[in-house]
Amino acid sequence: MAGDRYKHQVTGRMNKARGKLLEELIENSCRLYEEEGKALIEKTPEPMRVVRKLNDGAHFICVFEKKGQPDFKGTMAGGRAVVFESKYTDAGRISQSAVTDEQAKRFEQHHALGALCFILVSFSLDSFCTIPWEVWRDMKERYGRKYIKCSEAEIIGRVPYTGSRIMFLEGK
């Protein structure tokens, strides 16, 4: 039992580190898109609530509140809004439940207003795919299940990766 718990903790830490690396790659890509004049995309700050000020007045103890918005928002050249969530998995599939109900609500609102909305999924930092919001939302109807396999995601929207940049806006 203790060994299983330790293995689970190590796996969780590794996935968290890989997810952080994915976000760093995306932020690097966003900077390059900005430099090229193709888009201005920024990471949405995580909602936090201050629990207590520390004695020095410059530091605080905070808690993360429920995640309610997609990870990234911005505008592409030409004026179209872009909204997307980043997800990492070591599995050969990703579950629809990886997007929270509140995030789904926000995606639906942005989508209805004409924004380009998608989930950018990294499968083991080897394959990067953009899954359009309407495909993600309708996963059960399209595939008969509430997950999408890597092979299916690659057909829908595999995007090139250059080693320093995920080219998630190419062809959009």
Sign of CA dihedral 62, 121, 43, 97: negative
Confidence band of 92 (pLDDT split at 50, 70, 90): very high
Residue 47 has pLDDT above 90, yes or no: no
Residue 91 backbone phi and psi in degrees, to 5? -80, 170
Q: CA-CA distance, 123 to 79, in Å (whole number)? A: 30
Least confident interval from 4-8, 30-34, 68-72, 156-160: 4-8
The predicted model gives 91-116 an average pLDDT of 96
**What does the pLDDT read at residue 1?**
59
Residue 94 has pLDDT above 90, yes or no: yes
Go through the domains of the chain in sequence order and give each one's CATH number: 2-157 (3.40.1350.10)
Q: What is the DSSP letter of 11?
A: H
| CA 8 to the chain's CA centroid | 23
* 73: its two tokens: 């928002």
pTM for the full predicted model: 0.85
Confidence band of 72 (pLDDT split at 50, 70, 90): very high
Residue 87 has pLDDT above 70, yes or no: yes
